[in-house]
């Protein structure tokens, strides 16, 4: 991969501790939004946690390929509707060909591949264990930012990485179930491998577009990424062996759970996340977003009857604190 730091693109910061709000007449208006930004970041974590539970339920009857395509098509329709209602342009001035291609590539890596692996992980090991594994996202972003964008690491971040890895090792050594029965060692290992791979792909997808995000509308960027993640999946039903994976999408009953899951997880959660990042400090928003790990664990225990064993509780604590330190 090309070193972006050597290509003339200004490196981005994984965290923004030195962020400042506007002064003058705009300061009072911005100050009014500070607490709403914190609430939006918290809402993003809650909404995503609910969506993960719904995706888990949808996965009982849908193959990860079909589930991924269904949620993407639903979210794309919402993005188009949002663009029309807000009067935004479908092709803004900042939408250069290079930027568009980067967004499409990011969508292919971070949505077509990563989301499929994530949904497969969810199907194999359940929601609570998936939430723990997904915390490896932060170390991947930190590592790639260090190697490809020239960012510096701190000892606090490295400590966070060690705690996250320890959390994954903890669940890999414990007796587990996925809410529908005992987990075999093979499925647990496969689920962890797929989950870690999913976070690696999504981290690459984010890192390659981060330098250009500041110059383009967020809704448009989201739509193009979704397009890049949807188009490859549209070819899969052309293969006879894969058609059964998508057949449930033609049944109305499938959408009773998939539609709200897609609305919450692929659309609303993203909007709340953006609002949180925009109206409060990025470090504060990141910490509040990470609460989704705990929310998913609680919801999975209550609604999916996944066991809250001492090993899982320890792993959740390690993963949460580690992710917080990694983004500090």
Q: What is the 3-state secondary structure (H, E, C) of 245-314?
A: HCHHHHCHHHHHHHHHHHHHHHHHHHHHHHHHHHHCCHHHHHHHHCCHHHHHHHHHHHHCCCCCCHHHHH
Q: What is the pLDDT of residues 159-184, one digit of tens each?
A: 988 998 899 888 877 656 666 777 78
The model's confidence at residue 117, banded by pLDDT at 50, 70 and 90, is very high
Rounded alpha-carbon distances, angstroms, from residue 163 to 203, 258, 314, 323 = 19, 34, 11, 8
The model's confidence at residue 220, banded by pLDDT at 50, 70 and 90, is confident
DSSP 61: T
Give the CA angle between residues 259, 263, 266 to the nearest 5°: 115
Token readout for 291 is 């609460």
The closest alpha carbon to 174, from 134, 140, 126, 137, belongs to 126
As a whole number, mean pLDDT of residues 24-50 equals: 70
pLDDT at 138 over 80: no
Q: How does the average pLDDT of the chain come out, rounded?
A: 83
Q: In angstroms, rounded to a whole number, what is the distance separating the alpha carbons of residues 138 and 321?
A: 12
Q: In angstroms, rounded to a whole number, what is the distance separating the alpha carbons of residues 303 and 49?
A: 12
pLDDT at 33 over 60: no
As a whole number, mean pLDDT of residues 127-140 equals: 88
Q: What is the DSSP string of 165-213?
A: HHHHHHHHTS--B-SSSBPPHHHHHHHHHHHHHHHHHHHHHHHTTHHHH
What's the confidence (pLDDT) of residue 10? 43
pLDDT at 193 over 50: yes
The model's confidence at residue 6, banded by pLDDT at 50, 70 and 90, is very low
What's the confidence (pLDDT) of residue 273? 76
Q: In angstroms, rounded to a whole number, what is the distance separating the alpha carbons of residues 260 and 169?
A: 33
Q: Global pTM?
A: 0.82
Beta bridge partners of 182: 177
Rounded alpha-carbon distances, angstroms, from residue 92 to 99, 100, 104, 220, 271 = 11, 11, 16, 8, 19
Q: Are residues 248 and 62 in contact, defined by beta-carbon separation less than 8 angstroms? A: yes
What's the confidence (pLDDT) of residue 3? 42
What's the confidence (pLDDT) of residue 200? 93
The rounded percent of the chain whose pLDDT value lies above 90 is 45
């Amino acid at each position: 991969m090309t070193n972006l730091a050597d290509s003339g693109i200004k490196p981005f910061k994984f965290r923004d501790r030195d962020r400042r709000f506007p002064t003058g007449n705009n300061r009072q208006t911005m100050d009014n939004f500070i607490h709403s930004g914190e609430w939006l970041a918290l809402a993003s974590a809650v909404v995503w946690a609910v969506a993960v539970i719904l995706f888990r339920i949808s996965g009982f009857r849908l193959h990860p390929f079909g589930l991924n395509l269904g949620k993407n098509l639903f979210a794309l329709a919402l993005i188009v509707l949002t663009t029309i209602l807000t009067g935004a342009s479908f092709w803004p001035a900042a939408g250069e060909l290079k930027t568009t291609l980067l967004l499409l590539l990011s969508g292919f890596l971070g949505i077509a591949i990563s989301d499929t692996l994530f949904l497969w992980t969810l199907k194999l090991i359940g929601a609570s264990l998936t939430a723990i594994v997904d915390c490896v996202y932060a170390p991947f972003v930190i590592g790639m930012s260090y190697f490809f964008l020239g960012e510096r690491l701190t000892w606090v971040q490295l400590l966070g990485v060690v705690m996250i890895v320890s959390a994954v090792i903890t669940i890999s050594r414990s007796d587990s179930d996925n809410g529908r029965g005992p987990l075999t060692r093979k499925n647990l290992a496969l689920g962890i491998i797929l989950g870690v791979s999913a976070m690696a792909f999504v981290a690459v997808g984010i890192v390659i577009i981060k330098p250009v995000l500041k110059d383009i509308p967020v809704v448009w960027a989201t739509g193009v990424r979704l397009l890049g993640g949807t188009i490859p999946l549209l070819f899969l039903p052309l293969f006879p062996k894969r058609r059964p994976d998508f057949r449930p999408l033609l049944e109305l009953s499938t959408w009773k759970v998939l539609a709200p899951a897609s609305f919450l997880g692929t659309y609303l959660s993203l909007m709340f996340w953006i609002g949180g990042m925009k109206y409060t400090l990025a470090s504060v928003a990141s910490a509040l977003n990470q609460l989704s790990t705990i929310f998913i664990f609680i919801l999975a225990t209550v609604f999916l009857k996944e066991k809250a064993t001492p090993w899982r509780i320890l792993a959740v604590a390690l993963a949460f604190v580690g992710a917080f330190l990694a983004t500090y």
